Structure 1
Amino acid sequence: MDRAELAAVLRTARSRVTPADVGLPSGTRRQVPGLRREEVAQLAGLGVDYVVRLEQGRGPKPSAQVLGALARALRLSDDDRDMLFRLAGTPPPRDGRVPMPVRSSVLRLLDRMSDLPALVLSAKSDVLAWNPLAAALLGDFSAWPPERRNLIRQRFLGPTPDPESPSAADCVASLRSAHARYPADPDLTRLVAELRAGSAAFDRHWRAGRSGRLRSGTVTVEHARLGPLTLDCDILLVPEADQFVLVYSAAPGTRTASALELLRVTGLAHVTH
């Protein structure tokens, strides 16, 4: 493990990422370029002191799970992620696992979608990236522990589960398809086991043996301050990365369209779940 070089890479990567890049409010008293250490820790689900020690070259050897979380929080490319792993003395992720890094071109696409909530999902429905409007609509994803930033897990095991919705079966079918493509992925295997043990509805859908994919459609989001919002949810495939971009919209002139405009103007700091 090259602690000094690992520390330098982490500091440099943090300086390149802005709060807007990861769907966080910028605030008015920012004194450092890029993200604060507290924000990196929040996005990666780590303690602030742990991140400080890593950046100062005096931290313990990070696990592969921690390295993966840091790579996602810092928006590292595949090559930079692999370098991070090697500097920590850990082999980079092998083929056969669900791809987690988000392509830089997809991140630019999110940045351009300032008028529509949008987020990026992995093949197993992990929330990998989002724009500020998605956070204002659906909640501050950075506040969720990384292992819980998964829409299927939230649907069946979250604080407000919705296991009997019409799209629940499609969600389970898409996860079964991902499991068939990545049978050796330990995180995916762990997720399926947790869902089957914790949700009778999920287990029932899983035993039905259906495979499938996420589908575009109409969804209703219960916003704490704005009430029920009915939106169109279109799903765009990123085939090279086996990822999905979810884009939410509403027809002009509707109450939901007005609510989205309010969220865009007020932002995450004022109107959240």
Structure 2
Amino acid sequence: MARQELARFLRDRRERLRPQDIGLPADPHRRTPGLRREEVAELAHMSVDYYTRLEQARGPRPSPRILDGLVGALRLAPAERSHLFRLAGASAPPGVRAVRRVRPHIAQMLLRLPNTAAIVTDAGYDVVAWNPLAQALLGDDLGRHGNLARRRFLGQGRAYESSSAEEFGHIVVARLRRAADRYPRDPALAALLRELGAGSEEFRQIWDERPVHAPGHRTKTIDHPSAGTLRLNCDVLLVPEDDQEVVLITADPGSPAARTIRRLAGAVAS
């Protein structure tokens, strides 16, 4: 049964791809829907006979190396990659690099949240998307100095006094430790960890403590340079297929901070 499901999955993905998706010229006289088997086999660096047997549910159980070749050949998204490995009865090893591109529907969602500052961070704490209210709260340099780990430990970008600074340091290190385990071959992540380790004794101490923190609801008080003291709620939504987090920053209804946020939201909207 598993072989049949794997075969159907491969055929379905192959027939959905167009030649131009892999850099081939479009051919109006092409009879085969999607790609040909030999094209997929070449992209995946395997023989046509081996790939054909997989599609016919006759092949042996493919190795992780073979499966990752198929992931690249069929242009599979992270969630599809995990599904392919499950169908083949294998555990999907972590990807080579953290996903640093936000999905369009996630980016659009940030713009539809009234009176809510929202950012998206990747596994290495790069801010990969944000809405205007988040920029008003966290600084105009959010795009240029948009790594929250560097802000926290190296003082890069606008930094505010915050009641949760110590706790957030442990949260950052816990997540970066998980990222280092998941993406041991990611050069950008490795460079970030070297930079933090060289530039912050506090980071090195917390790293050695091996903190464990899960994302969730937290309250913090920050001293904004123009808006004053704000008591804010931070809630995290996970985007597990991309190992990203959506951070929603709000204030309690009717509170002074809520009135300030509405004023900031009106200013950035105009």
Same topology, TM > 0.5: yes
Assess if the C-alpha contact under 8 Å between 1:177 and 1:211 holds in 2.
Answer: no
Assess if the C-alpha contact under 8 Å between 2:119 and 2:246 holds in 1.
Answer: yes
In structure 2, runs of 5+ residues without a counterpart are 1-76, 78-93
Quote the residue 2:24 is aligned against.
Answer: none
- 1:244 is matched by which residue type in structure 2? E
Residues 127 and 155 from structure 1, CA distance in 2 versus in 1: closer, same or farther, beyond 3 angstroms? same
Instruction: Spell out the pairing of 1:37-48 with structure 2 (5 A cutoff).
Output: none
Residues 240 and 143 from structure 1, CA distance in 2 versus in 1: closer, same or farther, beyond 3 angstroms? closer
Residues 169 and 182 from structure 1, CA distance in 2 versus in 1: closer, same or farther, beyond 3 angstroms? same
| Aligned-partner SS, 2:150 | helix
Quote the residue 1:153 is aligned against.
Answer: 150
| Aligned-partner SS, 2:241 | coil
- 1:220 shift after superposition: 2.1
In structure 1, runs of 5+ residues without a counterpart are 1-77, 79-93
**Between Structure 1 and Structure 2, whose CA radius of gyration is higher?**
2
| Aligned-partner SS, 1:119 | strand
Q: 1:53-108 deviations in whole A, cap 9, x for unaligned?
A: xxxxxxxxxxxxxxxxxxxxxxxxx8xxxxxxxxxxxxxxx941000111111012
State the distance in 1 between where 2:160 and 2:264 align: 24
State the distance in 2 between where 1:169 and 1:161 align: 17
Assess if the C-alpha contact under 8 Å between 1:154 and 1:161 holds in 2.
Answer: no
Residues 142 and 185 from structure 1, CA distance in 2 versus in 1: closer, same or farther, beyond 3 angstroms? same
State the distance in 2 between where 1:257 and 1:96 align: 42
Normalised by the length of structure 2, the TM-score is 0.60
- 1:168 shift after superposition: 1.4
- 1:222 shift after superposition: 2.1
Quote the residue 1:173 is aligned against.
Answer: 174
Assess if the C-alpha contact under 8 Å between 2:197 and 2:204 holds in 1.
Answer: yes
- 1:114 shift after superposition: 3.4
Quote the residue 1:118 is aligned against.
Answer: 118
State the distance in 1 between where 2:268 and 2:257 align: 16
Please state if 1:208 is matched with 2:205.
Answer: no
What is the number of equivalent residue pairs in this alignment?
174
State the distance in 2 between where 1:124 and 1:268 align: 30
Query: What RMSD in Å do the two structures reach over aligned CA positions?
Result: 2.3
Higher-RCO chain (CA-CA 8 Å, sequence separation at least 6): 1
Quote the residue 2:54 is aligned against.
Answer: none
Higher alpha-carbon deviation: 115-124 or 211-220: 211-220
| Aligned-partner SS, 1:149 | coil
Q: Percent identity?
A: 39
Quote the residue 1:134 is aligned against.
Answer: 134
Instruction: Spell out the pairing of 1:1-273 with structure 2 (5 A cutoff).
Output: 95-142=95-142, 144=144, 148-159=145-156, 160=159, 165-267=166-268
Residues 188 and 116 from structure 1, CA distance in 2 versus in 1: closer, same or farther, beyond 3 angstroms? same
| Aligned-partner SS, 2:175 | helix
State the distance in 2 between where 1:186 and 1:206 align: 19
- 1:170 shift after superposition: 1.8
